[in-house]
């Protein structure tokens, strides 16, 4: 799969900020078909059987590594190179197929899911997307077989979310090789075999493949983490490490683009891994609340318990719908999916963390015991809103891209001269007609099932309101909108809620067409419940753009910074 050129491919989410619902980009909902589906199902079955019979998460945590034997076993089961081309020993799955298999690992053990994701989603992916034929032939067969593990080496002690301003430096030599110096931290699989390292140089950012054991490569010490205890997270230092010219991915200057494209792809498996985890949590909740009795009743008979379980299923359905719509955008290959990838990661990791807490609550004190599966999950899942793009950063990324897209559509009224009213009218007239038409006839999602008309109408109204709110923000704040992060958060949350509804309506439409309305009643109830909840949340976020306590929040923030501590005495 080639990387997406954002300049030449449309973005569905950017269109939402413009007040447009580009239905052809998302409908019909992408459903796996044919050989890809068959291969995926076979690999899912292999993963499920192995995880149920041969893998022990508690032993892995005790040993502080999932085990080289586990890696070998997964390689033998063809699970280590899921998307790699078969000519390099992989399975050649689509993005949807790959993420479906990764869901199985998330259902059983967050740590193993992360180890697999680091190796495949971001470790092997740069070679898969940007490697030459020679580079692929050199490294991919061993990576796909599990004989070697891959790492994605980006984060530094002073560089996290601001990935552009790397301090690691690569100096090109006269023979085309590179001398690499710097330090990286929090690198999964960092002590292993094939490291894709990102650095700056006089020629721009570069992506270099460094092999484990290279002279001058110093690994360790290992970080002692709260969760993911069986994941090897390393500090890495490069002390005049010489990297051969043939180990450069792409061209000099391509490094940052390669890193961002890799992360955009990699985030998607996080959505499905967390969906798998949510399904596992739901199983635990049903088992516990059905077996546990209090006040002579099963726990699940109590409304507040039932509410939590119903919420968990509903949110998992929406999360799953978003995740596989996004992977479908990748598989179609003609859409810029960067914002959808970011929104799915944010929604999944935030919702997964909250859902885990609700299931934890249902189990009461028993879940607080250190040897309970939910206790381990609590330690493991907390990292998901942080890594592969911190959620607040991804919200800002989503909103700023939407704001930029709309700003490019608005007429530059400040440049118009009052002495030329005819010229001004010529520029503004089409724009005014567009805005009036949008208010009278909000654009609707085309191709969805006719019985979902209320949900389709709600999506149209919310999209029109998102456009209006985005324009208001631009006209009110101008360039300073880049500093208004609470505004950005609300716009991003609103866009995410609309996208979640689109995904759910699209999925349900496909089910209704396939199975008929009578056979799809239970699924319809869940989907409609999810959409209505998201519609309420979108409304809340958009109202908060106008009615909020931001000024008071800023005053309180300034006062506590000045005081340096809690300032009030009773």
Residue boundaries of the structural domains of the chain: 9-149, 153-252, 257-391, 394-547
Give the C-alpha distances (Å, rounded to integers) separating 235 from 166, 223, 333, 455. 16, 7, 36, 49
Comparing 257-391 with 394-547, is the CATH topology the same?
yes
First to last CA, the chain: 63
At the topology level, CATH places domain 257-391 in Butyryl-CoA Dehydrogenase, subunit A; domain 3 (1.20.140)
- Is 157 in contact with 185 (CB distance < 8 Å)? yes
**pLDDT band, residue 103 (cuts 50/70/90):** very high
**pLDDT band, residue 245 (cuts 50/70/90):** very high
pLDDT in the model for residue 4: 43
Q: Is the pLDDT of residue 5 over 90?
A: no
Residue owning tokens 């061993």 = 142
Q: From CA 147, how far away is CA 149, in angstroms rounded?
A: 7
388 is catalytic: yes
Mean pLDDT, range 129-140, rounded to an integer? 97
Q: From CA 160, how far away is CA 164, in angstroms rounded?
A: 9
**pLDDT band, residue 540 (cuts 50/70/90):** very high
- Which position among 388, 443, 471, 489 bears the catalytic label? 388
For 140-161, b/e burial (b = at least 16 CB within 10 A) is: bbbbbbbebbbbbbbbbeebbe
Q: From CA 481, how far away is CA 503, in angstroms rounded?
A: 29
Backbone angles phi, psi at 201, to 5 degrees: -150, 175
Residue 116, CB-side half-sphere exposure with 13 Å CA sphere: 30
Q: From CA 42, how far away is CA 560, in angstroms rounded?
A: 57
pLDDT in the model for residue 163: 81
Q: From CA 114, how far away is CA 95, in angstroms rounded?
A: 17
Express each pLDDT in 405-453 by its tens digit.
Answer: 999 988 753 333 333 433 333 444 444 445 555 554 678 999 999 999 9
Our CA dihedral for 40, 43, 49, 53, rounded to 10 degrees, sits at: -140
The 3-state DSSP class for residue 113 equals: helix
CA 441 and chain centroid, separation: 33
Joined together, the tokens standing for residue 444 give 């609707």
Name 75's Cβ contacts closer than 8 Å, sequence gap at least 6: 144, 145, 146, 147
pLDDT in the model for residue 438: 57
**pLDDT band, residue 2 (cuts 50/70/90):** very low
pLDDT in the model for residue 209: 98
482, containing H or E segment: none
Arch. (CATH architecture) of 394-547: Up-down Bundle (1.20)
Residue 522, CB-side half-sphere exposure with 13 Å CA sphere: 3
Q: Is the pLDDT of residue 511 over 90?
A: yes
pLDDT in the model for residue 535: 98
Answer with the residue of higher pLDDT: 266 or 564.
564
> How many C-beta neighbours within 10 Å does residue 75 have?
19
Q: Is the pLDDT of residue 1 over 50?
A: no
Backbone angles phi, psi at 217, to 5 degrees: -85, 115
How much of the chain exceeds pLDDT 90, in percent? 87
Express each pLDDT in 339-359 by its tens digit.
Answer: 999 999 999 999 999 999 999
Q: Is the pLDDT of residue 287 over 60?
A: yes
At the topology level, CATH places domain 153-252 in Butyryl-CoA Dehydrogenase, subunit A; domain 2 (2.40.110)
| Pairing outcome for strands 206-211 and 248-249 | antiparallel
Which of the listed CATH numbers 2.120.10.70, 3.40.50.1010, 3.20.20.70, 1.10.540.10 matches domain 9-149? 1.10.540.10
Report long-range pairs for 244-248 (Cβ below 8 Å, ≥24 apart).
244/177, 245/175, 245/176, 245/177, 245/178, 246/134, 246/135, 247/135, 247/178, 247/208, 247/209, 247/210, 248/178, 248/206, 248/207, 248/208, 248/209
- Is 232 in contact with 188 (CB distance < 8 Å)? yes
pTM greater than 0.85: yes
Give the C-alpha distances (Å, rounded to integers) separating 536 from 141, 321, 459, 498, 543. 49, 19, 11, 11, 11
Q: How many residues does the chain have?
A: 570
Give me the chain's average pLDDT, please: 92
């Amino acid at each position: 799969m080639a990387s997406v050129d954002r300049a030449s491919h449309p973005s569905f989410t950017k269109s939402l900020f413009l007040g447009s619902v580009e239905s052809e980009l998302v409908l019909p909902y992408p459903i796996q078909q044919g050989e890809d589906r068959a291969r995926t199902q076979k690999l899912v079955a292999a993963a499920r059987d192995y995880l149920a019979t041969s893998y022990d998460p508690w032993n892995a945590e005790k040993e502080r590594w999932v085990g080289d034997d586990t890696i070998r076993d997964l390689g033998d089961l063809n699970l280590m190179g899921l998307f790699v081309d078969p000519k390099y020993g992989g399975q050649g799955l689509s993005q949807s197929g790959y993420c479906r298999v990764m869901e199985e690992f998330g259902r059983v053990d967050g740590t193993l899911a992360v180890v697999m994701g680091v190796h495949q989603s971001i470790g092997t992916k740069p070679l898969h997307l940007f490697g030459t034929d020679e580079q692929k032939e050199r490294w991919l067969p061993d990576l796909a077989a599990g004989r070697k593990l891959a790492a994605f080496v980006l984060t530094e002690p002073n560089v996290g979310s601001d990935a552009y301003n790397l301090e690691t430096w690569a100096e090109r030599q006269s023979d085309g090789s590179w001398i690499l110096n710097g330090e990286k931290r929090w690198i999964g699989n960092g002590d292993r075999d094939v490291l894709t390292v990102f650095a700056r140089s006089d020629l721009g950012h570069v992506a270099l493949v460094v092999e484990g054991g290279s002279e001058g490569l110093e690994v360790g010490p290992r970080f002692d983490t709260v969760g993911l205890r069986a994941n090897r997270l390393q500090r890495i230092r490069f002390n005049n490490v010489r990297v051969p010219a043939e180990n450069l991915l792409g061209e000099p200057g391509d490094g940052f683009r390669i890193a961002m494209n890799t992360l955009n792809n990699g985030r998607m498996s996080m959505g499905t891994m967390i969906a798998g985890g949510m399904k596992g949590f739901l199983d635990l909740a049903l088992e516990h609340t059905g077996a546990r009795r209090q006040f002579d009743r099963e726990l699940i008979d109590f409304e507040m318990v039932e509410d939590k379980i119903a919420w968990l299923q509903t949110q998992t359905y929406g999360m799953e719908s978003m995740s596989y719509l996004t992977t479908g955008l990748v598989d179609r290959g003609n859409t810029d999916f960067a914002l959808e990838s970011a929104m799915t990661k944010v929604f999944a990791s935030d919702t997964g963390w909250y859902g885990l807490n609700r299931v934890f609550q249902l189990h009461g004190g028993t879940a607080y015991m250190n040897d309970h599966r939910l206790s381990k999950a609590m330690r493991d899942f907390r990292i998901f809103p942080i890594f592969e793009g911190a959620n607040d950063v991804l919200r800002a990324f989503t909103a700023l891209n939407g704001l930029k897209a709309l700003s490019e559509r608005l007429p530059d009224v400040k440049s118009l001269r009052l002495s030329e009213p005819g010229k001004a009218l010529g520029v503004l007239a089409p724009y005014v007609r567009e805005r009036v038409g949008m208010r009278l006839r909000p654009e609707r999602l085309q191709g969805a099932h006719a019985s979902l008309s209320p949900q389709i109408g709600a999506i149209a109204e919310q999209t029109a309101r998102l456009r209006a709110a985005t324009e208001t923000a631009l006209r009110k704040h101008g360039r300073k909108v880049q500093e208004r992060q609470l505004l950005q958060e609300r716009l991003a949350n609103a866009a995410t809620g609309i996208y979640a509804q689109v995904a759910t309506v699209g999925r349900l439409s496909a089910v209704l067409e396939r199975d008929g309305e009578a056979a799809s009643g239970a699924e319809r109830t869940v989907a409609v419940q999810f959409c209505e909840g998201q519609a309420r949340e979108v409304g809340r976020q958009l109202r908060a753009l106008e009615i909020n306590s931001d000024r008071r929040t800023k005053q309180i923030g300034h006062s506590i910074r000045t005081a340096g501590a809690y300032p009030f005495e009773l």
